Chains A and B, each alone.
Chain A
Amino acid sequence: MSKKVKETSILTQRSKPEKIVFGIIFALFLIYAVSLIFPFVWMAVLSLEEAKSLNTAMKLNGAFYIPEVLYFSNYIDAFTTMEDNGVNFIGMLMNSAWFVGIGLLFTMFWHSITAYIFAKYKFKGRNFIYTCAIFSMIVPIIGSSGAMYRLMAELNLYDSGPLYLMVTSCGGFGGTFLMMYGIFANISWSYAEAVFIDGGSDNTVFFRIMLPQALPAIAAMAVNTGIGLWNNYGTALMYMPSTPTVASGLYKISLYISDHGRPIYYAGLIISIVPVLIIYGFMSGSMMKNLSIGGLKG
């Protein structure tokens, strides 16, 4: 009830100049929204075109034409004909699936346990480690990728697929750490004290009490991280060339796609964005409520 009152409160009342500003901004937002949606609709339409020169077709019919015959078979051809490094599109989808699964599991787990411990416990060396971790986040370092590349080769992790991902996803510090830190810092410690009194351990507190309480926020972050992993083309391109993901594979295919092959390539691009749109559609509300960042101060 009180919320309803607030929604119709003074905050929603706008003066005439404000109404004009909001009107202009609304128009600008609409233009921007159309600029985001329309190109994909246009691409989806052309993905149904016959495998022929799109440049010629667009010159003849105009860029906004709709093909007379719609070739939905392009979407099947995308799965069977597109390939990178001997891996077809189905293989790339499978690679993306484990890439996201392993990366997400390891990243979220290690970041959450690390952030929880730093947010809730005092221990010897805590401030030193925290300072080092934060320092490493704020030093503008570039140019170490050559050393990283060599290290991966020396550790036999280069092109090792899931093993590479498992080993490199065990870090607990980074942007996700800052977000998780804020979440755990805001959960009351009195729950933990009750568990300790009942004889529970620190593991019980974390896995049974703290993690479930932080779950909505962690789930929102997991969606963000998972989408990031799905779209990550650089890692697979540089460190896992034999197991191209959808993102890295489509990038490589884009380098040599012919004009005639563009409708099928477009179909591949459309397929690649469907999973993230569905997941985002379901989770956007939760992400909106639960995403926050802070904690550089420690």
Chain B
Amino acid sequence: MQQDKTLGKTKKDGSMGSFRRGQLRFIWGWIIIPIISWLVFFLYVNMSSFIQAFQDRVTGEWTFKNFVDFWRSLTGENFSGGGRIDIALGNTMKFFFLGLVVNSPIQLFVAYFLFKKILGYKFYRFVFYFPVIISNVAMTGVFKEFIETAGPLGQICESLGIALPAGGLLNSSKTVVGTVMVYSVWDSIGLHMLLYCGAMARIPLEVLESGRLDGVGGWRELINLILPLIWPTMSTLLMLQITGILGASGQILLLVGENDAFTLRAQTLSHWIFSQVYKGGNHMQGQYSLVSATGLSLTLVMLPFVMFVRWLFLEKIPTVEY
């Protein structure tokens, strides 16, 4: 879509040089700030994190200790850093695949039926977006209260003869992860709904009409006609989701807490990193070097996978122009 704006054709007074210079002043004058921001807050921060991974947290001396600690935690050994990276990584993968295999298809199907103007679609489109616009603090707050043993869910279960764990679903090592996963599904159904609906709304109706005339049913319409036509939107969203593979998480902090006994059971990598860096608000007391070593190791492992998926999406799957 990008157009050639060298502007040889649009010069006003024949002084191509001054016109071009003015244009370059405009371009660089504006983008220099975002570029500096990117250099400082992305490049410098990540390079700094890279160096930090090889430094002792206290003395600043060069060391591989952080990687040893990371490995010990990954293999299930206890160490001074706190938390269990093996559990956190396992839970992160669970949440990632939940998002990819369950949440994303549901979001797409919901958008499809709204696009097909199911009865009450305007109401549903409005309500399903609530979890996106209502703060996670409020969403988790109401969810937690609702599933309490004394709350509505507890009483409904009691009337059905089903016993919830004594302390509630979030206070049992058996149910805490499952409960956070259920919340993740409940909370994310409307997540990309508007983007999918918007992409579907831009599909020429003639394409779908001719499909119908050729006897294409609802399922084939979605898979064979709509999906290829919304692929630019879908591939971008999937790509961003896959890029966030290591950050995949439920609302552990808000649902389970920071240092709760059951936090360890439900912990994900992003929650583990948060708790290591934040340290309950004790400024600058975090395990930054260990966090950097963990991040670096896992990033290097995941990078080939993400690059492969990107190549697959962008180079191997053709985009339909319309």
Contacts and interface: CB of A to CB of B under 8 A. Distances in A.
Interface of A: 6, 9-13, 15, 18, 21-22, 25-26, 29-30, 32-33, 35-37, 39-40, 42-43, 54-55, 58-59, 62-64, 110, 113-114, 117-123, 129, 132-133, 136-151, 153, 158, 168, 170-173, 175, 178, 185-186, 189, 192-193, 196-197, 199, 201-203, 227, 230-231, 233-234, 237-238, 241, 246-247, 250-251, 254-255, 262, 265-266, 269, 272-273, 276-277, 280-281, 284, 287-297
Given A168-B41, A247-B137, A141 B299 contact: yes
B26 A202 contact: yes
Contact of B146 (A32, A42, A291): A42
Interface of B: 1-7, 9-12, 22-24, 26-28, 30-31, 33-38, 40-42, 44-46, 48-49, 52, 110, 113, 116-120, 123-138, 141-143, 145-146, 148, 150-152, 154-155, 186, 189, 194-195, 197-199, 201-202, 205, 208-209, 212-213, 217-218, 232-233, 235-237, 239-240, 242-247, 254, 257, 269-270, 273-274, 276-278, 281, 283-284, 286-289, 291-296, 298-299, 302-303, 306-307, 310, 313-314, 319
Contacts of A233: 135-137
Contact of B31 (A113, A250, A297): A113
B137 A272 contact: yes
Contact of B113 (A22, A54, A287): A22
23 contacts: A26-B118, A30-B120, A63-B154, A114-B31, A140-B243, A140-B245, A143-B294, A143-B299, A145-B291, A146-B273, A149-B284, A150-B52, A151-B44, A172-B34, A172-B38, A175-B240, A196-B10, A196-B12, A202-B27, A233-B135, A273-B135, A288-B194, A291-B194
Interface centre among A122, A129, A158 (most CB of B within 10 A): A122
Contacts of A32: 128, 189
A196 B307 CA distance: 42
Identify whether the interface residues of A are mostly helix, strand, loop, or mixed. Answer: helix
Identify whether the interface residues of B are mostly helix, strand, loop, or mixed. Answer: helix
Contacts of B276: 146
A63 B23 CA distance: 66
B155 to A, nearest CB: 5
Given A10-B209, A151-B48, A288-B197, A36 B128 contact: yes
Given A18-B218, A58-B151, A241-B281, A144 B197 contact: no
